[in-house]
């Protein structure tokens, strides 16, 4: 039986970057961390530790498009994703993240404001990753032959 492929997803922001982890067998994702950024420059040491800890097969970056068109924010997210791929020599997959922050806010409704604010970007990253899994073709079943 093959091992599930692990992915890390990123909800890029110039101040905070939400990170989620998931695997393709169950096509599930969970919020993982929030990485701080200063003037759009991520804490690369923290990202490196996450990459080392999870050894992902690939990375997924959300692009905030507007009616399918690039925006200044999607260009920044694109540069971040290109740097991720080059820095860690991993494939980067792009997902339109339209409405993920709003969906994350809805998912966190009822939690205290401080908790919502702290986890929103992580939850958005998990929604980005689940969207990626949903858009992929079904995993091929392993074929076994008995004796």
Task: Return the percent helix, strand and coil in the chain, to nearest 5.
Answer: 40, 25, 35
CATH number at residue 70: 3.30.420.140
Residue 90 CA to residue 144 CA, distance in Å, equals: 30
CB atoms within 10 A of CB 120: 22
Domain that residue 12 falls in: 6-135
The residue written with tokens 């997959």 in the block is 93
Residue 50 CA to residue 35 CA, distance in Å, equals: 10
Residue 46 CA to residue 31 CA, distance in Å, equals: 16
Residue 12 CA to residue 15 CA, distance in Å, equals: 9
Residue 118 CA to residue 83 CA, distance in Å, equals: 25
Higher pLDDT residue, 3 or 30? 30
Q: Has residue 57 been placed in a domain?
A: yes
Q: Residue 23: phi, psi to the nearest 5? A: -140, 155
Q: And the tokens for 39?
A: 């003037």
Q: Has residue 130 been placed in a domain?
A: yes
pLDDT digits (tens, 9 = 90+) for 112-137: 666 556 677 888 899 899 989 988 86
Q: Has residue 100 been placed in a domain?
A: yes
Q: Which residues pair with 61 in a beta bridge?
A: 10, 94
Q: Has residue 145 been placed in a domain?
A: no
Specify the number of domains making up the chain: 1
pLDDT at 81: 94
pLDDT digits (tens, 9 = 90+) for 44-102: 999 999 999 999 999 999 988 777 777 888 888 999 999 999 999 999 999 887 656 66
Q: In what order do the strands lie in the sheet with 92-96?
A: 41-42, 28-38, 16-23, 6-11, 58-63, 92-96
Radius of gyration of the chain (CA): 16
């Amino acid at each position: 039986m093959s091992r599930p492929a692990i992915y890390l997803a990123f909800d890029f922001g110039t101040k905070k970057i939400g990170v989620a982890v998931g695997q393709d067998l169950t096509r599930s994702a969970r919020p993982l961390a929030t990485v701080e950024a200063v003037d759009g420059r991520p804490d690369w040491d923290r990202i490196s530790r996450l990459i080392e800890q999870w050894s992902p097969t690939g990375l997924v970056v959300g692009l905030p498009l507007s009616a399918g068109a690039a925006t200044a924010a999607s260009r920044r997210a694109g540069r971040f994703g290109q740097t991720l791929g080059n820095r860690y020599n991993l494939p980067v997959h792009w997902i339109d993240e339209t409405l993920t922050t709003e969906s994350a806010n809805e998912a966190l409704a009822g939690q205290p404001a401080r908790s919502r604010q702290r986890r929103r970007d992580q939850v958005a990253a998990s929604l980005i990753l689940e969207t990626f899994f949903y858009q992929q073709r079904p995993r091929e079943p392993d074929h076994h032959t008995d004796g």
